[in-house]
Structure 1
Amino acid sequence: MAVFIHRSWWSLTDNAISDLGKVNLPYNWVMNVSLVVAAILGIYYALGLFKEAKHPTMKLGIWIFILGLMFLAGIGIFPEGTSPHYYVSWGFFITASFGMLVAGIGLYLGREKQLGIITAIIFVLSWILGLWAMKVFRGVAVSEFIGIFGIIAWHYMVLAKILRKEKEI
């Protein structure tokens, strides 16, 4: 919705996603509230993953991922134009993706080898493509979306595994 509201000036290749929520921007709350709500819902989801965690490494990864989601809420609470914004933004991408990787290692060690390997592939590809996009485009939105889509893809793979498991019961 924030992209639609600010479509007259915002560009995927020339801006950051955070530009949509910057201080003093009309309707910045659309972006910032969405980030906080997404973080809260993500934390609720991640807490539910503990039931599926068969290996301590996966539990550690989930805790790191939850920390990343707290940084995501921080992006909405400290929008672009505030001093903590840069740190909470990087904090989100680094800890959420690292948490995903550690949880993936836990999946691998806990007899979900295929899902663990796919998690590692998503992590590596997301970072390679994200760093590439930072060099190619003026803005960082493409890089940010690559990271976010990697996390979303991982979420749906884990969710599909959980739903298949429940169907078997």
Structure 2
Amino acid sequence: MNENYDDFIKRFKRYDKWIIFYEKNIASPLLAKHRSARGSLASKVKDIMYVVFKEFNLPTIPAVNTALKESEIRKWKGSPAVKNCYGNLFKKIKNPDPETYMSRILQILKGKNQLSNMQIAYAISICEIILNPKNLHIQVTESVIKPVLTKNLVSIRNLNK
């Protein structure tokens, strides 16, 4: 970088000044955009999941706020519709058609674009976490999604070998 932007780098008398500049003007805005894109993808996946599972009358997820009670989440996840959707996530929509509910969600999400393995794993992870009646998560945070995402990404990479 010194070779190409020598004048720019000289503005920073000390390395720590560069770090402060970088964190404030480059890293922070990039991280915010990344989080926004990830949040948008999560919202799209949830919306598409409802469209695909409309035949099961999937109830709406309770609004996530700090006052949300565990009993409300347990009731939602324990409903027959949610259990049915979770149980059918990787099952064929119609026999002998090979398309599963999850592949339909991914197809709609993809649209005209190509999805990366990471985006596919992320979408699968969101559906699994939200619909899984064995956990109480309806809000997908980094700590919740990381182990599921890692597992799904490894599975996808193994399929592509």
TM over 0.5: no
Instruction: State TM-score, norm by structure 2.
Output: 0.29
Computing the radius of gyration over CA atoms, which structure comes out larger, 1 or 2?
Answer: 2
Instruction: State TM-score, norm by structure 1.
Output: 0.28
Larger helix share, 1 or 2 = 1
